[in-house]
């Protein structure tokens, strides 16, 4: 007779190094929104739809414990008094494509259970008291984990912007940097014109530290960095908190009639002018890619697409849309 410890012996707690495939079945298009939900193997963290659970267990002997995720979409009534905003966001894995007939907002309700193939269902967390501690920890960690798809998306987004590879700024080789004696500390920054302490941009020409644009949902900054550009025409700014030894978010207010995220191959030199050693910096603020993904998650699926005339570009794969964004 199997003891409870034997049954659950292969259940692992995912770490940040594990990829948790909780968006879509490995073998079909089933997702947590599908009628039967999605089953996440608590050993391999692979997600499978109902029809593929038996196959997964056959291929992975002893790995028959799953976290079942079932998600329901609940439409939120649209307030006709609220202006649709200009800023639109990338939509990851939009199911059924893009609805151009108007913004639809949703909230999501998720239900969980531990499923022991082939026959036992334990509602979670309602009956969590019947489970060993490491199984509860595994379930909680899977629920909290960033999905493998979002991880890949973030990695991709960090080298691209609006689906395009970031281009070298036309100012990168000739950027003027003033010798005004300013040195930027490695942390503890604040906007020079307001009290904001994050979403801050360092102008690479004069070393001014100013806050970013206000986002369409009211978060973000007070536009001090962009206002500074219109006064000075100093074109390049780097987002403080995104600087690491691998690079940083660099924004150009002046790239051939547009403003855009850019590459600055001389970034290390431009930062050292202000006393910043790029090799010693660590990430402390959200990158623009992080923010897009966050907003995407916050507003859910197609709901963040608020402008029917948005430029939609297929990014890759069916149903994965990419929509132009304005950021700082
Ligand atoms: Zn698996
Ligand atoms: Zn400010």
Would residue 125 count as lying in a domain?
yes
The tokens of 63 are what? 């790995």
Looking at all shown ligands, the one closest to residue 200's CA atom is 2
Prediction ipTM score: 0.54
Q: Residue 81 domain-assigned?
A: no
What is the average per-residue pLDDT within 217-235? 89
Residue 317 inside a domain? The answer is: no
- Round to whole Å and give the CA distance between 221 and 204: 19
The ligand with the least distance to the CA atom of 63 is 1
**Smallest-distance ligand from the CA of 208:** 2
In a domain? residue 118: yes
Q: How far is the CA of 53 from the centre of ligand 1 (A)?
A: 9
| 165 and 59 in a common domain | no
Report CA(10)–ligand 1 centroid distance (Å).
12
Query: Residue 225 C-alpha to ligand 2 middle, in angstroms?
Result: 7
* Residue 34 and residue 165 share a domain: no
Q: Number of structural domains, the chain?
A: 2
CB 192 within 8 A of CB 207: no
139 shares a domain with 235: no
pLDDT over 60 at 82, yes or no: no
The SS3 assignment for 137 reads helix
- Kindly state whether residues 142 and 244 are assigned to the same domain: no
CATH code for position 141: 3.30.40.10
For residue 56, give the ligand nearest its CA: 1
In 3D space, the residue among 263, 295, 272, 38 whose CA is nearest the CA of residue 143 turns out to be 38
- Are residues 272 and 168 part of one domain? yes
Give, in order, the Cα–Cα distances in Å from 227 to each of 208, 245, 326. 12, 29, 15
Residue 296 lies in a domain: no
Nearest ligand to residue 21 Cα:
1
Which ligand is nearest the CA of 222, by number? 2
Task: Note whether residue 245 is domain-resident.
Answer: yes
* Residue 51 CA, ligand 2 centroid: distance in Å: 54
Q: Report if residue 89 sits inside a domain.
A: no
Average of per-residue pLDDT across 56-78: 87
Is 90 inside any structural domain? no
From 121, 146, 171, the end of a domain falls on 146
User: Could you tell me the sign of the dihedral formed by the alpha carbons of 238, 242, 244, 249, in that order?
Assistant: negative
Determine the structural domain holding residue 116 and report its residue range.
4-75+107-146
Q: How much distance in Å is there from the Cα of 3 to the middle of ligand 1?
A: 23
Q: Are 210 and 281 in the same domain?
A: yes
Which is it for strands 312-314 and 250-255: parallel, antiparallel or unpaired?
Answer: unpaired
Q: Is the peptide bond before 79 cis (omega within 30 degrees of 0)?
A: no
> How far is the centre of ligand 1, averaged over its atoms, from the C-alpha of 111 (Å)?
21
Lowest-pLDDT range, 6-10, 229-233, 262-266, 281-285? Answer: 281-285
pLDDT of residue 40: 97
319 burial class (0-12, 13-18, 19+ CB within 10 angstroms)?
middle
Residue 191 CA to ligand 2 center (angstroms) comes to 5
Nearest ligand (C-alpha, residue 19): 1
Q: What's the pLDDT tens digit per position in 168-222?
A: 999 999 999 999 999 999 889 999 999 999 889 999 999 999 999 887 666 778 9
Ligand 2 center–CA 222 separation, angstroms: 5
């Amino acid at each position: 007779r199997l003891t409870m410890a034997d049954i659950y012996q292969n259940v692992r707690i995912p770490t940040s190094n594990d990829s948790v495939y909780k968006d879509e079945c490995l073998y079909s298009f089933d997702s947590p929104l599908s009628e039967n939900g999605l089953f996440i193997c608590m050993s391999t963290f692979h997600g499978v739809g109902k029809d593929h659970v038996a196959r997964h267990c056959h291929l992975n002997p002893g790995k028959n414990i799953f976290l079942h995720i079932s998600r329901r979409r609940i439409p939120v009534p649209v307030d006709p008094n609220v202006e649709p905003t200009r800023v639109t966001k990338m939509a990851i894995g939009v199911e059924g494509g893009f609805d151009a007939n108007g913004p639809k907002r949703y909230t999501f309700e998720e239900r969980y259970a531990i499923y022991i193939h082939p026959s036992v269902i334990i509602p979670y967390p309602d009956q969590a008291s019947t489970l060993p501690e490491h199984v509860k920890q595994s379930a909680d960690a899977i629920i909290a984990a960033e999905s493998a798809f979002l991880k890949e998306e973030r990695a991709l987004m960090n080298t691209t912007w609006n689906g395009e590879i970031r281009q070298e700024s036309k100012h990168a080789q000739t950027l003027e940097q003033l010798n005004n004696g300013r040195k930027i500390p490695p942390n503890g920054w604040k906007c020079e014109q307001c009290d904001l302490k994050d979403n801050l941009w360092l102008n690479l020409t004069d070393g001014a530290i100013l806050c970013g644009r206000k986002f369409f949902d009211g978060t973000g900054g007070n536009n001090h960095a962009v206002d500074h550009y219109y006064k000075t025409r100093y074109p390049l700014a780097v987002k403080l908190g995104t600087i690491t030894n691998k690079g940083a978010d660099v924004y150009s207010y002046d790239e051939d009639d547009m403003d855009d995220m850019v590459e600055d191959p001389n970034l290390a030199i431009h930062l050292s002018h202000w006393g910043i050693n790029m090799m010693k910096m660590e990430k402390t603020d959200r990158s623009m890619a992080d923010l897009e993904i966050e907003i995407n998650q916050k507003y859910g699926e197609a709901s963040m697409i608020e402008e029917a005339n948005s430029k939609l570009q297929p990014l890759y794969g069916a149903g994965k849309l990419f929509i132009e964004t304005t950021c700082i």
